[in-house]
Amino acid sequence: MKRILLLILALIIAVPVILIGKQFFDEDSGPPPTPSTLTSAQQIERGSYLARAGDCMACHTARGGKEYAGGRAIPTPFGTMYAPNITSDPEHGLGNWSTNDFWRALHNGKSKDGRFLYPAFPYPNYTKVTREDSDALFAYMKTIPPVNQVSAEHALRFPYNYRILLAGWRALYFTPGVYRPEGTQSVEWNRGAYLVQGLGHCSACHTTRNAFGATVDKSDLAGGLIPIMNWYAPSLTSDAEAGLGNWEIDHITALLKTGVSERSTVFGPMAEVVSQSLQHLTDNDVKSMAVYLKSLPQNDPPPASDSGQPSKSEADRIMALGGKIYENQCMECHKAGGEGIPPAYPPLNGNRALTMNSAVNPIRMVLNGGYPPSTTGNPRPYGMPPFGQVLSDQEVAAVVSYIRNSWNNRAGFVSPVEVNRYRSIPLD
């Protein structure tokens, strides 16, 4: 009996050691490369398009800095990370990398020297990119003018500053694998799934992360707070939030391509995604993404508890104050019935972006204002002015609570404490 117990104990210890150790030596090279049918110019053009699809510049270009030279600070719950230089500079960028080195980073999350990459670089999504697209993307990267700029060291807290620990993280949360088309779905659906799950890395924001920063199910797109941005990315699989099950394909496509539609308007981080990435994709690709997103199963969460909500008399007082503020500050654009004037001024009545369990987005909109992106399809967008400088925490809480509980809207009330939490946070 004692030997059996010792054997069981040995297995309990050995299995995780083997799985973790496997991360150091196992190289999932994916499918072998095949000669490209594109000319060099065509491959570079393709790579430029894919860089837009992946919005690579968003992280790898610091504000006021040179394109792709890195240096942008990315605050995380584990410390601050700095995007590296990915220009063609041979010393500090990708100038001495090969197509295999680049593929290794995208597909297997390892740098040229074999070091584990931190998953702030979304290789758990990029692993789905095909080898052909990876090679085209790298061909474009080699054309980016070199910038002699050292990549800043990450400022992570102990123990997250030890890369060796990523072996355990990878063993638990990362499996390399190129996207495999679903045979039962259309070509259009598969194209949309490939873009959403891969280069689009939509789950990086629209999926809740666990305590270790991992998106356990990258396909559920069930929404969650984005700690590094202090915005809430709504669920795309819940009609109680931003689920698209009852949207028309044309409205989804318009929202992704132009930032506005008859149903909604994008603000905050999503406005940057539309401006820097999605508006530059072809109409067919954006429609494919819309087709895929609309097909996602809708799983509405149970309604939130009413605990902590004000008494009826207090609620009446808040609604009266909020209604007065709405009349003076909001009604001209959003109208008395909350119907708005879409797409310039989005409707508030029935707008699920306002009635989600988390009220962080409408709070920040009232405090900081909201500005949809300027796009080719909507070159002169209408913006919402900030009211944080003229309204107190109590007044912002009152008007947000009013909007969340007027007309056909029913959601929790907002407290001044919640408003104050986001008052000092900039819009982007």
Instruction: Identify the CATH number of the domain in which residue 208 sits.
Output: 1.10.760
pLDDT at 1: 53
pLDDT at 110: 94
Radius of gyration of the chain (CA): 24
Among 270, 295, 320, which residue terminates a domain? Answer: 295
Residue at 229 is within a domain: yes
Residue at 9 is within a domain: no
pLDDT at 36: 77
Class of residue 276 by CB neighbours under 10 A (exposed 0-12, middle 13-18, buried 19+): middle
Same domain, 232 and 357: no
Residue at 401 is within a domain: yes
pLDDT at 269: 86
Same domain, 43 and 168: yes
Same domain, 257 and 204: yes
Residue at 116 is within a domain: yes
Same domain, 112 and 34: yes
Residue at 8 is within a domain: no
Among 173, 204, 234, which residue terminates a domain? Answer: 173
Same domain, 211 and 248: yes
pLDDT at 5: 47
CB-CB neighbours of 101 under 10 Å:
15
Same domain, 195 and 168: no
Same domain, 106 and 130: yes
The closest alpha carbon to 280, from 254, 248, 261, 257, belongs to 257
Rounded Cα gap, residues 126 and 103, in angstroms: 10
Rounded Cα gap, residues 271 and 252, in angstroms: 14
- Residue-number span of the structural domain to which 35 is assigned: 15-173
277 and 269 Cβ atoms separated by less than 8 Å: no
Residues 6+ apart with CB under 8 A from 195: 53, 281, 285, 288, 289, 292
Same domain, 248 and 357: no
Among 295, 330, 356, which residue terminates a domain? Answer: 295
Residue 319: CATH number of its domain: 1.10.760.10
Same domain, 246 and 121: no
This prediction has a pTM of 0.84
Residue at 252 is within a domain: yes
Residue at 392 is within a domain: yes
**What is the SS3 assignment for the chain?**
CHHHHHHHHHHHHHHHHHHHHHHHHCCCCCCCCCCCCCCHHHHHHHHHHHHHHCCHHHHHECCCCCCCCECCEEEECCEEEECCCCCCCCCCCCCCCCHHHHHHHHHHCECCCCCECCCCCCHHHHCCCCHHHHHHHHHHHCCCCCCCCCCCCCEECCCCCCHHHHHHHHHHHCCCCCCCCCCCCCHHHHHHHHHHHCCCCCHHHHECCCCCCCCCCCCCCCEEEECCCCEEECCCCCCCCCCCCCCCHHHHHHHHHHCECCCCECCCHHHHHHHHCHHHCCHHHHHHHHHHHHHCCCCCCCCCCCCCCCCHHHHHHHHHHHHHHHHHHCHHHHCCCCCCECCCECCCCCCHHHHCCCCHHHHHHHHHCECCCCECCECCCCCECCCCCCCCHHHHHHHHHHHHCCCCCCCCCCCHHHHHHHHCCCCC
Same domain, 134 and 43: yes
Same domain, 346 and 383: yes
Q: How many domains does the chain have?
A: 3
Same domain, 274 and 344: no
Going residue by residue through the chain, which has 428 residues, state the pLDDT in tens, using 9 for 90 and above: 555 544 444 434 443 554 455 555 566 666 667 777 889 999 999 999 999 999 999 999 998 999 999 999 988 889 999 999 999 999 999 999 999 999 999 999 999 999 999 999 999 999 999 999 999 999 999 999 999 999 999 999 999 999 999 999 999 999 999 999 999 999 999 999 999 999 999 998 888 888 888 886 656 788 877 766 778 888 888 777 777 778 899 999 999 999 988 888 888 889 899 999 999 999 999 999 999 999 987 766 555 544 468 899 999 999 999 999 999 999 999 999 999 988 888 889 988 888 888 899 999 999 988 888 888 988 888 888 999 999 999 999 999 999 999 999 999 999 999 999 888 775 55
Residue at 181 is within a domain: no
